[in-house]
């Protein structure tokens, strides 16, 4: 009889043996995983559990010359909802409610968008106020993903948009000063190392360490926010009034080259960037330095200054304007087809006489004329420090396609291209005593390690101080003796020269109806504090610089003279300068 009456002990022992064998197998297997393969798995665990995040550095401010901020950086949060991280319907509701409360959106709205997103992460906002975002994160609700973003805000609104440029979503400057001085403004990002869970969130009570970011430096521009605002206001008003396509105004300190204001149209809205449309990218460039144009009669200042400096003429020198001149088979005429007989050099500028300019170019001859153009900085960028700066083109006798007609037309500003900045810089040299200054936009960089001050840079002496004085006088006469007197400022003496340039057509020749109306002038006459260039593209109601551009110059001059508290020179006659 079986020793065990109920169950077979053999079978029981067989079962126990089987279980024991399985157990032994599992113990060996676990030991293999935990001891033999420990290093491998520990490495894999480290790789997945450690997360390294960069912490963006606060971007430096951009300030005007008085230290007023015009672009500041704020740390904002980009908040998304990741439905994959919701572990229950209740958790989903909590997360949606918290995000809605923080952003001010309605929970139903977010819920709806989440459903539309079909459980893909949903970006709720990219611009949540720092404190609110911090509080939202403090709730540490799963499914809420927040990332720091450096967000540019503009206390002065859209002021100087084309000059400043904009920053991309990653916080890096993409155009304008933001791009050209990005290394200084950006600083260097910090890092944050922490243990994370499977969806990337830091785990509660986990290890953290961080290297703080190095903040970017502040950029102090030479721009004055008041002047910039006046300039933009007047430019916009003129464009509207004359139905013009665009324009540029530059205000420069003639003795330093510092740019006090620089505005171009068309432009874009810094606060509402919409570049999905490729055409919009056409609006972002700083046209004052990138776009070339033929200056027209404003360029006679260069021709005249050169001739006076070479001792070929004085303001009193006369020539005979007996009608259109025929040069190499081409008739060159005055702009209004009027002819003045015998007139002085001062009258030549006053009447903006093309025949006179051609007479001057004949006296100058190509060698001296083109040498002088180069000395005034034409044909090469001014090195103002902005990328994309154009240098302009003119032909010289060394070029194969140069012809003597070029010399004659160049003398009154045709067949030669330049940027508005180049002309403003050259005219600054004419009025400042004859020194070509390198124009500049950044006065100083205020970094954590100290201040880097930029000093004015004199490029070369172009004309003599005496020629400069003479030119100022002639420019004053050009404004004050003008029959229309649109550029004058009551109570002050100013100087300038208008221009009405034809627009070269891409198909050759010039467009029949389009003009660029411009003026470049300075004030006050007694000791110039500003050179102002106004250029209005394709005005519709009147083509003339004196009608379209001069009033802008006059208004800007008046506002600035008051702003600078320059005492009026009413009653003081302008001393006549005799060579």
Q: How far is the CB of 192 from other proteins (least distance, A)?
A: 17
Task: Please return the burial class of 11, using the count of CB atoms within 10 Å of its CB with bins 0-12, 13-18 and 19+.
Answer: exposed
Instruction: Give the rounded distance of the alpha carbon of 462 from its chain centre.
Output: 29
Of 16-24, 269-277, 440-448, 543-551, which part binds other proteins (CB under 8 A)? 16-24
DSSP state of 32: I
Q: How far is the CB of 101 from other proteins (least distance, A)?
A: 17
What's the CA gap between 287 and 516, in Å, rounded? 14
Q: How far is the CB of 30 from other proteins (least distance, A)?
A: 5
> Residues of 442-454 as b/e, b for ≥16 C-beta within 10 angstroms?
bbbbbbeeeeeee
- Of 311-370, binders to other proteins (CB under 8 A) are none
Q: Applying CB under 8 A, which of residues 126, 129, 156, 197 lies at the interface with other proteins?
A: 197
Pairing of strands 62-63, 218-221: parallel
Instruction: Give the rounded distance of the alpha carbon of 339 from its chain centre.
Output: 44
| Per-residue tokens: 123 | 């970006």
If the CB atoms of residues 3 and 455 are measured against other proteins, the closer one turns out to be 3
If the CB atoms of residues 43 and 106 are measured against other proteins, the closer one turns out to be 43
Does 20 sit near other proteins (CB under 8 A)? yes
Reply yes or no on whether 297 is catalytic: yes
Of 33-41, 381-389, 445-453, 521-529, which part binds other proteins (CB under 8 A)? 33-41
Of 198-206, 222-230, 363-371, 529-537, which part binds other proteins (CB under 8 A)? 198-206
Q: Applying CB under 8 A, which of residues 54, 106, 108, 140 lies at the interface with other proteins?
A: 140
DSSP state of 566: P
If the CB atoms of residues 202 and 397 are measured against other proteins, the closer one turns out to be 202
DSSP state of 485: -
- Of 34-63, binders to other proteins (CB under 8 A) are 34-35, 37-38, 40-42, 44-45, 48-49
Of 63-71, 162-170, 202-210, 266-274, which part binds other proteins (CB under 8 A)? 202-210
Could you give the strand order of the β-sheet that contains 50-55, starting from the edge strand earlier in sequence? 50-55, 190-195, 208-211
Does 278 sit near other proteins (CB under 8 A)? no
Task: Please return the burial class of 575, using the count of CB atoms within 10 Å of its CB with bins 0-12, 13-18 and 19+.
Answer: exposed
What's the CA gap between 61 and 73, in Å, rounded? 6
Backbone φ, ψ for residue 488 (5° rounding): -75, 160
- Of 203-262, binders to other proteins (CB under 8 A) are 203-206
Of 32-40, 71-79, 111-119, 278-286, which part binds other proteins (CB under 8 A)? 32-40
Catalytic residue among 80, 264, 267, 297: 297
Of 8-16, 63-71, 167-175, 465-473, which part binds other proteins (CB under 8 A)? 8-16
Q: Applying CB under 8 A, which of residues 126, 195, 310, 526 lies at the interface with other proteins?
A: 195
What's the CA gap between 60 and 530, in Å, rounded? 29
Q: How far is the CB of 103 from other proteins (least distance, A)?
A: 21
If the CB atoms of residues 81 and 386 are measured against other proteins, the closer one turns out to be 81
- The answer to whether the peptide bond before residue 524 is cis (omega within 30 degrees of 0) is yes
Could you tell me how many helices (H) and strands (E) the chain has, helices first? 18, 21
Longest dimension (CA), the chain: 152
Specify whether the CB–CB gap between 247 and 537 falls below 8 A: yes
Specify whether the CB–CB gap between 185 and 59 falls below 8 A: yes
Quote the crossing angle between the two packed helices 300-309 and 465-480, to the nearest 10°. Answer: 140
Q: How far is the CB of 205 from other proteins (least distance, A)?
A: 8
What's the CA gap between 577 and 579, in Å, rounded? 6
Q: How far is the CB of 89 from other proteins (least distance, A)?
A: 12
Q: How far is the CB of 248 from other proteins (least distance, A)?
A: 56
Of 5-13, 357-365, 434-442, 458-466, which part binds other proteins (CB under 8 A)? 5-13
DSSP SS3 for 242? helix
Q: Applying CB under 8 A, which of residues 26, 123, 280, 562 lies at the interface with other proteins?
A: 26
Specify whether the CB–CB gap between 553 and 487 falls below 8 A: yes
| Per-residue tokens: 304 | 């005249």
What's the CA gap between 147 and 493, in Å, rounded? 58
DSSP SS3 for 331? strand
Q: How far is the CB of 128 from other proteins (least distance, A)?
A: 21
- Of 77-136, binders to other proteins (CB under 8 A) are 87-88, 91
If the CB atoms of residues 94 and 368 are measured against other proteins, the closer one turns out to be 94
What's the CA gap between 553 and 557, in Å, rounded? 6
Does 9 sit near other proteins (CB under 8 A)? yes
If the CB atoms of residues 16 and 465 are measured against other proteins, the closer one turns out to be 16
Q: Applying CB under 8 A, which of residues 63, 107, 132, 198 lies at the interface with other proteins?
A: 198
Catalytic sites, residue numbers: 297
- Interface residues with other proteins (CB under 8 A) are 1-9, 11-12, 15-16, 19-20, 22-23, 25-27, 29-31, 33-35, 37-38, 40-42, 44-45, 48-49, 87-88, 91, 140-142, 195-199, 203-206
């Amino acid at each position: 009889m079986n020793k065990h009456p109920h169950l077979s002990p053999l079978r029981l022992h067989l079962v126990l043996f089987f279980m024991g064998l399985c157990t032994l197998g599992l113990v060996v297997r676990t030991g293999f995983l935990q001891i033999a393969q420990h290093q491998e798995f520990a490495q894999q665990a480290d790789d997945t559990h450690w997360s390294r995040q960069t912490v963006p550095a606060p971007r430096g401010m951009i300030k005007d010359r008085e230290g007023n901020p015009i672009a500041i950086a704020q740390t904002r949060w980009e908040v998304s909802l990741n439905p994959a991280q919701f572990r229950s319907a209740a958790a989903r509701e909590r997360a949606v409610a918290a995000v809605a409360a923080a952003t001010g959106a309605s929970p139903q709205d977010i819920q709806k968008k989440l459903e539309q997103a079909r459980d893909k992460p949903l970006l709720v906002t990219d611009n949540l106020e720092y404190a609110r975002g911090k509080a939202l994160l403090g709730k540490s609700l799963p499914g809420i993903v927040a990332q720091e973003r450096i967000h540019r805000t503009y206390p002065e609104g859209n002021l100087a948009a084309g000059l400043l440029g904009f920053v991309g979503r990653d916080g890096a400057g993409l155009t304008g000063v933001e791009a050209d001085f990005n290394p200084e403004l950006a600083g260097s990002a910090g890092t944050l190392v922490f243990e994370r869970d499977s969806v990337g969130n830091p785990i509660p009570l986990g290890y953290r360490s961080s290297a703080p970011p190095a903040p970017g430096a502040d950029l102090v521009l030479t721009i004055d926010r008041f002047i910039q605002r006046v300039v933009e206001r007047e430019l916009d008003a003129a464009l509207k009034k004359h139905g013009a396509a665009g324009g540029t105004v530059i205000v420069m300190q003639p003795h330093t080259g510092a740019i006090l204001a620089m505005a171009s149209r068309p432009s874009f809205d810094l606060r509402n960037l919409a570049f999905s449309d490729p055409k919009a990218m056409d609006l972002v460039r700083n046209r004052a330095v990138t776009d070339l144009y033929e200056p027209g009669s404003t360029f006679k200042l260069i021709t005249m200054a050169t001739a006076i400096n070479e001792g070929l003429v004085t303001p009193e020198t006369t020539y005979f304007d007996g009608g259109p001149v025929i040069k190499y088979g081409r008739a060159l005429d005055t702009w209004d087809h009027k002819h003045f007989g015998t007139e002085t050099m001062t009258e030549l500028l006053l009447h903006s006489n093309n025949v006179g300019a051609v007479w001057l170019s004949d006296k100058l001859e190509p060698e001296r004329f083109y040498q002088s153009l180069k000395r005034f900085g034409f044909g090469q960028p001014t090195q103002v420090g902005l990328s994309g700066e154009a240098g302009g083109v003119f032909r010289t006798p060394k070029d194969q396609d140069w012809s003597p007609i070029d010399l004659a037309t160049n003398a009154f500003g045709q067949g030669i291209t330049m940027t508005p900045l180049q002309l403003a810089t050259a005219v600054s040299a004419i009025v400042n005593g004859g020194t070509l200054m390198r124009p500049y936009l950044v006065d100083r960089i205020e970094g954590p390690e100290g201040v880097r001050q930029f000093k004015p840079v004199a490029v070369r002496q172009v004309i003599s101080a005496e020629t400069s004085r003479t030119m100022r006088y002639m420019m004053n006469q050009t404004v004050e003796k003008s029959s229309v007197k649109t550029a004058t400022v009551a109570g002050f003496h100013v100087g300038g020269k208008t221009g009405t340039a034809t627009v070269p057509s891409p198909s050759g020749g010039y467009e029949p109806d389009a003009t660029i109306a411009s003026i470049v002038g300075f004030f006050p006459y007694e000791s110039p504090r500003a050179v102002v260039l106004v250029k209005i593209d394709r005005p519709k109601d009147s083509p003339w610089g004196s009608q379209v551009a001069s009033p802008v110059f006059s208004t800007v001059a008046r506002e600035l003279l008051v702003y600078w508290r320059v005492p009026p020179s009413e009653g003081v006659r302008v001393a006549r300068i005799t060579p």
